[in-house]
């Protein structure tokens, strides 16, 4: 596979300008920053082909740091035996920890090895995964590097759902880039090999790194008179429906870590009980934009059109209007399972060699 020069790695700014990436999903959680969009790259390729003259690639390693399957094995094969020899002297690493080595035959300067959590096994997995990204970023800055490229940590054999992992990664990188140390980096790349991981980043990148205002369809309701109000509402409703149709993953909940039950269960990543606890959340402001029931005790409700699929729309709408309560998670999950099983099944059926899976 040919090498990919750093200059050819598309940034979010480039992807927004080319309409390859657009704001079509959950509402942004952060303010738009053109400068940050130019410092974040997104690409689907073999991470060992990235040519980073003063940068590092991040290896999703195991605790021994002695190579393994997926991206770990691919990086060790590309770097050569010398990488293994150096790793032998590192003494392993704990989950959430990162250690740095030379890159040897790889077309980058350094390799940062981080140990991701096993989903559903290790407690406080989101915090441990965030530590993987944060500690890797710190190692890069300490080494005087200006570029770092992440593989999709823990989304391989460690079973972390792609959408949930992407939320943690995007949030952690956003906050680091806004810090003093973050100013020392020129480029942070999210390099995915699996389509499911790429889909997650395309869906969620605009939530954490929104496009410029002129690329976001906005309607200033305050400037509309009464005669234009209906047109405004119709336009917003149309945009919401389009967002739902284009959405690949579940929308982000308040804690930014919820994952649809059907996605987790289809990958065998969490138990039925854990899936029910995770639920499927939709931000409250989106629910209100659809004219659905408001709630004072919960942050999110499930759109009524998803419940229509299960044949329970009339009953749930009556309950929502009467009690102004959210739809029970188990019924929403049942509806989502019926409508998404076919699509999610494809994620687990991908064949071939997974060079970058952990």
> What mean pLDDT is predicted for residues 109-122?
96
**φ, ψ (nearest 5 deg) of residue 97:** -95, 155
Per-residue pLDDT for 337 more than 80? no
First to last CA, the chain: 21
> What mean pLDDT is predicted for residues 14-42?
91
> What mean pLDDT is predicted for residues 224-239?
39
CB 22 within 8 A of CB 215: yes
Residues in the chain, total = 358
Residue 27's pLDDT is: 86
Q: Which fold has domain 4-213?
A: 3.40.220
Look at strands 108-115 and 50-61 and give their pairing. Answer: parallel
Domain-by-domain residue ranges, the chain?
Answer: 4-213, 250-348
* pLDDT interval class at 213 (50, 70, 90): confident
Look at strands 40-44 and 50-61 and give their pairing. Answer: unpaired
Whether this prediction's pTM lies above 0.85 is answered by: no
Choice between 196 and 246, residue whose per-residue pLDDT is larger: 196
CA atoms within a 13 Å half-sphere pointing along the CA-CB vector of 266: 23
* pLDDT interval class at 246 (50, 70, 90): low
* pLDDT interval class at 50 (50, 70, 90): very high
Q: What is the pLDDT of residues 124-151, one digit of tens each?
A: 999 999 999 999 999 999 999 999 999 9
* pLDDT interval class at 212 (50, 70, 90): confident
Is residue 110 within a helix (H) or strand (E), and if so which, with residue range? strand 108-115
Exposed, middle or buried, 95 (CB in 10 Å: 0-12/13-18/19+)?
buried
CA 265 remoteness from chain centre: 18
Q: What is the pLDDT of residues 278-331, one digit of tens each?
A: 333 334 443 343 333 333 333 333 343 333 433 343 454 445 444 443 333 444
Exposed, middle or buried, 77 (CB in 10 Å: 0-12/13-18/19+)?
middle
């Amino acid at each position: 596979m040919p090498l990919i020069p750093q200059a050819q790695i598309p940034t979010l700014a480039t992807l927004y300008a080319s309409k390859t990436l657009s704001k079509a999903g959950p509402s942004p959680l952060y303010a738009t920053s053109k400068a940050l969009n130019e410092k974040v790259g997104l690409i689907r390729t073999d991470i060992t082909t990235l040519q980073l003259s003063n940068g590092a690639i991040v290896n999703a390693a195991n605790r021994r740091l002695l190579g393994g399957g997926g991206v770990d094995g691919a990086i060790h094969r590309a770097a050569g035996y010398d990488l293994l020899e150096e790793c032998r002297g590192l003494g392993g690493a704990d989950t959430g920890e990162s250690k740095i080595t030379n890159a040897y035959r790889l077309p980058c300067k350094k390799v940062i090895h981080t140990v991701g959590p096993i989903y559903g096994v290790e407690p406080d997995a989101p915090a441990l995964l965030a530590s993987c990204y944060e500690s890797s970023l710190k190692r890069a800055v300490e080494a005087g590097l200006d570029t770092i490229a992440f593989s999709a940590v823990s989304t391989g054999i460690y079973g972390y759902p792609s959408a949930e992992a992407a939320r943690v990664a995007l949030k952690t990188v956003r906050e680091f880039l806004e810090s003093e140390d973050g100013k020392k980096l020129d480029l942070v790349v999210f390099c995915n090999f699996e389509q499911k991981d790429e889909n997650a980043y395309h869906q969620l990148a605009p939530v954490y790194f929104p496009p410029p205002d002129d690329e976001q369809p906005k309607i200033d309701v305050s400037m509309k008179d009464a005669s234009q109000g209906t047109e405004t509402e119709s336009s917003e409703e149309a945009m919401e429906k389009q967002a739902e149709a284009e959405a690949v993953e579940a929308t982000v909940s308040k804690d930014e870590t919820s994952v649809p039950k059907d996605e987790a269960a289809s990958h065998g990543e969490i138990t039925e009980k854990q899936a029910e606890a995770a639920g499927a959340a939709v931000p409250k402001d989106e629910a209100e934009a659809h004219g659905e029931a408001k709630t004072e005790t919960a942050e999110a409700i499930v759109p009524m059109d998803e419940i229509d699929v299960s044949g329970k729309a009339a009953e749930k709408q009556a309950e929502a209007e009467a009690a102004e309560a959210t739809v029970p998670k188990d019924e929403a999950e049942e509806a989502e399972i019926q409508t998404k099983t076919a699509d999610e099944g494809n994620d687990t059926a991908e064949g071939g060699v997974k060079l970058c899976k952990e």
